Amino acid sequence: MWRYLQYIIFGLTVVLLTIHEIVFVQAGEQERVAWYEGATRAIEGRIRASAATWSAPPAGGVARGVVLFVGDGMGMSTLTAARILSGQRRGNTGEEAQLAWDSFPAVALARTYNMDAQVGESSACATALLCGVKANYETVGLDSSARFENCYSSFDARVPSLINWAQEQGKSTGLVTTTRVTHATPAALYAHAASRYWEDDGKVPPAARTSCKDIARQLLEDEPGRNINVILGGGRRHFVSKVTQDPEEPDKEGRRLDGRNLIEEWSRNHRLRNVAAKYVANKEQFESVDPRKVNHLLGLFSYSHMDFDVDRNTNGSGDPSLAEMTIKALRILAKNPEGYFLFVEGGRIDHAHHYNNAYRALDETLALEEAVRAVMKEVDLSETLLVVTADHSHVLTLGGLATHRGNPIFVKGRIRGKSGETSTRGGIFVGEETGRKRGFDRGWDSFKTGGRPCRGYDAAIDLEPREDRDVDAAERTIDENPVPIAEISINQSIVTESKIEFQQIVRLRHFLFQFFFFIFFFTLEF
């Protein structure tokens, strides 16, 4: 009797694994290949179309280094307002100003929808940008076969990123952000999670903790995260246990439930491997790092996100700027003769927009621009690919009727237009103006004002949502032939210019394999 039962279960296992392979796994792989091939065809078509305008074929080149800048939430209206603010800070009217990437030869619009959402959000948008595959809302590093907060659906949905491909080519890699390093956008570089919120094990559902690692563990334990040479940003709380006090904010504790200190484990593992590695937690420690003597650098400068640049403590106990972090990372990575890939995120543009605080959103945009200008001075532009884009937009609106040239971007109240009429020109609105204002202090995420604007602008809603508007993508190619880039083609444009080869990752068919073979061997005991 038991022998027949074993045969039945074994046969059922084989049948179901076969169905799983054909229906789910191959379907997911076919979808990924379709995205890759579609984006590649789009890039090749644009190259041919652009080349047709040249009298002779342009000289080609391969990028030794790639720097991808992402302004989180940096939509077109944000760029316009930041450009004006930049000019006005220099004493000009502002409209004539140029941001660093305005002169890049290749410019395009990128569509930011998700597979299951018209208005995209950071983690799924970052998956499309960094992995070249459209994803479902609030999932990270997974294709559309994964379901939000469904651990088991993620096993066969994992997709590689630009960092995977760069490391396979022997390149050094780096991640720099002003958010938590485990936050939605940077996480898509190295993590595969059914929820962007699984930043530590305390956020992972108890039933899933043995099968699905939290994002912080994936960063420091798994490939490609553990091989990233430079990791700079915020978010210490996700790397230490609940009984560990934060060194800068002793009234706050870590959030890990497993009792582990991943920072100490990272340092210990590198010592055991005799790797020149260093961990830093403030600006003084950061500035003491000699890029010539360090090959791996981990910097976690804040309990949660790093401060807005305008609120940043610039003393030794404070934080480095985005530009300073970027240049330090670049100097460490550039030592590799095989080249490098560096991801740089101005992540707090998005947060300021969510708070309806236009001042900080624009100031953070200009902080990102400072990082771009610093890199342009640091690298050899003849062998470096620079890309500047956003993951999604925001509903920032510049209102006003025939306002005068040079009108201060943050002016509030009624002003007289060129033809004598008056209109409300708040400089900046969020949605339709209703006169409603909200305080900027969120309690859990408050800020030192330093006498600078710290209030929300007029909005029809309490917290500003994201916007389904195309975002700008500017690329400084190393080729004489500018290549427009759009949508997931941004990902393949980087692959094309740097000759990074992308490969499929072989994955175990976890759930059905483990489940049915457990039943099979369990019956053998009887």
- Count Cβ atoms below 10 Å from residue 10 Cβ, excluding itself: 15
Residue 167 token pair: 């490391």
Which tokens hold the place of 449?
């004002």
Give the number of residues written for the chain: 526
Scanning the structure block, which residue is given the tokens 């590689």?
160
Cα–Cα distance measured from residue 123 to residue 190, given in angstroms and rounded to the nearest whole number? 12
Q: Classify residue 299 by its DSSP letter.
A: E
Distance CA 397, CA 431 (A): 7
Residue with tokens 């074994």: 10
Q: Is 201 annotated as a binding residue?
A: no
Is 304 one of the annotated active-site residues of the chain? no
Question: Of the listed 122, 144, 302, 393, which one is catalytic?
Answer: 122
Residue 389, SS3 per DSSP: strand
Burial of 159 from C-beta contacts in 10 A (0-12 / 13-18 / 19+): buried
Rounded CA separation 259/397 (Å):
46
The string of DSSP codes covering 413-474 is SEEE-TTS-EEE--S-EESS--S---BS--STT----TTS--BPPPBSSSS--EE---EEEE
Examine residue 224 and say whether the peptide bond preceding it is cis (omega within 30 degrees of 0): yes
72 is in an annotated binding site: yes
- Give the HSE-up count for residue 405: Cα atoms under 13 Å, Cβ half-sphere: 5
Q: How many CB atoms lie within 10 A of CB 56?
A: 7
Q: How far apart are CA 448 and CA 469, in angstroms?
A: 32
Structural contact between residues 352 and 453, judged by C-beta atoms closer than 8 angstroms = no
Report the distance separating Cα 304 and Cα 281, nearest Å. Answer: 12
Q: Is 354 annotated as a binding residue?
A: yes
Residue 345 is assigned to a ligand binding site: yes
Q: Is 159 helix (H, G, I), strand (E, B) or coil?
A: coil
Q: Is residue 311 marked as binding? A: no
- The whole-angstrom separation of Cα 208 and Cα 385 is 40
- Nearest alpha carbon to residue 123 among 326, 354, 388, 392: 392
- Residue where the block lists tokens 């480095």: 320
Residue 82 near residue 428, CB atoms below 8 Å: no
391 annotated binding-site participant: yes
Token pair recorded at residue 247:
């060194």
To the question of whether residue 185 is assigned a binding role by annotation, the answer is yes
What does the alpha-carbon distance between residue 154 and residue 194 come to, in Å, rounded to a whole number?
6
φ and ψ at residue 387, rounded to 5 degrees: -130, 130
Which tokens in the block code for residue 497?
A: 């210019």
In angstroms, the CA 129 to CA 25 distance is: 22
Annotated binding site for Zn(2+): 72, 350, 354, 391-392
Annotated binding site for Mg(2+): 72, 183, 185, 345
Residues taking part in catalysis: 122
Annotated binding site: 72, 183, 185, 345, 350, 354, 391-392
